[in-house]
Amino acid sequence: MAQVSGAHFVITLLISPRRPSALIRLAGEIDMEADPALSGVVERLSIIAPTEVVVDLADVAFASSALPNFLARAHIALAADSALVVCRPGGSVLRLLRITNMEELVTLRADLPVAGDWTPSSAAPLVALPAFGASTD
């Protein structure tokens, strides 16, 4: 497990040793202050070469363009057959992801998939994501 934190953010990277998969948990404010740490995560992903990367956004309070930029860089760093899954975005974060067309690069999920050694105890039940424009906040 690797964890990086700043004044307003925490980034945790968990790697499953059984299969090449990673869980990235973002928390707090994901803005330009978090960008150097996010770049380090992208670099680590390119070395690990996981077949699946799950990004948990449940604890993100605010996200700027740093979040879609990170997701685009992670998508580029992964092999073409790798899955990049973004889970549990809040209302304003979901709007940001949809406005920036992140659904073209990532799979959006309302729940956290259960997988391997990094399965957290707080896995959420499957819930449909609201339609774009629907109020969630």
Tens of pLDDT, residue by residue over 36-69, are 999 999 999 999 899 999 999 999 999 999 999 9
The answer on pLDDT for 18 being more than 70 is: yes
Dig out the tokens for 57 from the structure. 């956004």
Dig out the tokens for 124 from the structure. 């959420």
Question: At 53, phi and psi to the nearest 5?
Answer: -125, 125
State the CB neighbour count (10 A cutoff) for residue 73. 17
Dig out the tokens for 60 from the structure. 């993100």
Per-residue pLDDT band for 17 (boundaries 50, 70, 90) equals confident
Taking the whole predicted model, whether its pTM rises above 0.75 is answered as yes
**Average pLDDT of the residues of the chain:** 85
Reading phi first (left if > 0) and then psi (alpha if -120 to 50, else beta), residue 101 is in: left
CB 15 within 8 A of CB 22: yes
